[in-house]
Amino acid sequence: MIRPLPSLGLLDRVLRVLFPGVMILLLNGCSSVSYYSQLASGQWQLLRAREPVAEVIADPSRDQTLRAHLAQSQKARAFASEHLHLPDNQSYRLYADIGRPYVVWNVFATPEFSLTPVSHCFPIAGCVAYRGYYSQSGARGEAALQRLQGLDVSMGGVEAYSTLGWFNDPIISSMMGWGDERLATLIFHELAHQRCYVKDDTEFNESYATFVEQEGTRQWRAFRHLPAESDAQARQRDQFTELVLDTRVRLEKLYALPLPVEQMRQRKAAEFERLRDEYRSMRDKQWAGDKRYDAWINAPMNNAKLLPFGLYDQWVPAFAALFRQVDGDWLKFFPAVEKLGGLPTAERKAALQALAGSEYAGANQPKNQ
């Protein structure tokens, strides 16, 4: 039974004055109405399912593991505002059990010979590089339609998302399966979106939030006097990401060539095989056979599958350099991010490239000099 919650900010001020319905009316076409209807319905059901975390923790009839997990989450939530200076509101102080493994499924698509995502534009969030569905079947249907159009398509489940401060976002049951630290990182990432968001620039937004997640987690571990992430784990993650990003660069150069379609397809397939070969060589020679990325690398490969690496990781080194420039001061970092976000697109990208270049140069400097 879903509990009504009129007290939660008067249901977030009557759903921001019936925002979903207004959004639907802004759009034309049956397909648009159908798509936005499921978005509005999914968001409404999520908001209706919320209950205060404190009440769940205090209820002895609730699952003990859930209560313990939520209790730990609130320590991370307090740390996020008190030490990382992320928004101090009711987001992630609420809980919603949705009864499924993911809250939404995102569908990414690109042309066959391009790494430019098919973008979708929304009244509030601007243009993003994916379409989200609250049901897996809906996402699969969309993916099938995109494939019929000759596009490269990838679909993936998402544990959490941010409404950018429009509503008080809950901890969702889909966020609970990865352990206390993973839950903390999700909270840091999603609150970062509430702190700063640039319309129509997914790469900027996700790379920034990923940096806040990673640096926030490092500081969270230090705050609890836990050892930092092992050098081996961090190195493997970074090496794997670099391997995929290098493949993206090669593919972008390939797609710029005036080649016949069949030859382009052959060379595209060869690049994906090269990625697999380089990964296996790295795994066996440098990682002692660690197979943590095997499932991803052995699955069918296409352009769309590489998109998240460009979206979530491309500018992380730039934000790391920016953080160092402000001496690791979050109160200076966020205004600097907002200043970057306010630049025209071309200037913003140039500034990020310069920051990333300084980060790589610093990483390659000899130590102990």
For 238-255, what is each residue's pLDDT tens digit? 899 999 999 999 999 999
Residue 26: its pLDDT value, please? 38
CA distances, 339 to each of 6, 125, 324, 328 (Å) = 38, 19, 16, 17
| Pair 348, 204: CB distance under 8 Å | yes
| Pair 323, 358: CB distance under 8 Å | no
Asked if residue 10 has pLDDT above 50, the reply is no
The closest of 87, 54, 86, 84 to 71, measured between CA atoms, is: 54
Residue 18: its pLDDT value, please? 44
Residue 28: its pLDDT value, please? 42
Residues 298 and 326 placed together within one structural domain of the fold? yes
List the beta bridge partners of residue 51.
95
The reply to whether 2 falls in a domain is no
* Cβ-based neighbour number of residue 334 at 10 Å: 19
Rounded to whole angstroms, the Cα distance separating 197 from 199 reads: 6
Residues 41 and 189 placed together within one structural domain of the fold? yes
Predicted confidence band of residue 360 (pLDDT cuts 50, 70, 90): low
Residue 31: its pLDDT value, please? 53
Predicted confidence band of residue 362 (pLDDT cuts 50, 70, 90): low
The reply to whether 5 falls in a domain is no
The closest of 318, 309, 313, 312 to 360, measured between CA atoms, is: 318
Tokens describing residue 17:
């004055």
Residues 35 and 167 placed together within one structural domain of the fold? yes
The reply to whether 368 falls in a domain is no
Element (H, E) at 105: strand 104-110
Give tens-digit pLDDT for 65-83: 999 999 999 999 999 999 9
Looking at every residue in the chain, the average pLDDT score rounds to 89
Give tens-digit pLDDT for 80-131: 999 999 999 999 999 999 999 999 999 999 999 999 999 988 776 788 889 9
Residue 281: its pLDDT value, please? 97
Mean pLDDT along residues 22-50: 74
Asked if residue 369 has pLDDT above 60, the reply is no
| DSSP code for 200 | T
Domain hosting 58: range is: 11-223
| Pair 135, 38: CB distance under 8 Å | yes
Rounded to whole angstroms, the Cα distance separating 5 from 11 reads: 7
Predicted confidence band of residue 227 (pLDDT cuts 50, 70, 90): confident
Tokens describing residue 244:
């995929």
Give tens-digit pLDDT for 40-60: 999 999 999 999 999 999 999
Asked if residue 230 has pLDDT above 90, the reply is no
The reply to whether 206 falls in a domain is yes
Asked if residue 366 has pLDDT above 70, the reply is no
Task: Please say which residue of 196, 223, 250 terminates a domain.
Answer: 223
CA distances, 176 to each of 96, 100, 165 (Å) = 11, 11, 22
Mean pLDDT along residues 265-278: 98
Residues 116 and 191 placed together within one structural domain of the fold? yes
Asked if residue 8 has pLDDT above 70, the reply is no
Residue 122: its pLDDT value, please? 78
Q: Which residue has the higher pLDDT, 63 or 27?
A: 63
Element (H, E) at 157: strand 152-158
Residues 83 and 204 placed together within one structural domain of the fold? yes
Residues 311 and 181 placed together within one structural domain of the fold? no
pTM, two decimal places: 0.84
The reply to whether 6 falls in a domain is no
Residues 62 and 200 placed together within one structural domain of the fold? yes
Predicted confidence band of residue 312 (pLDDT cuts 50, 70, 90): confident
Mean pLDDT along residues 356-368: 60
Three-class SS of residue 171? strand
Predicted confidence band of residue 63 (pLDDT cuts 50, 70, 90): very high
Residue 17: its pLDDT value, please? 41
| Pair 40, 21: CB distance under 8 Å | yes
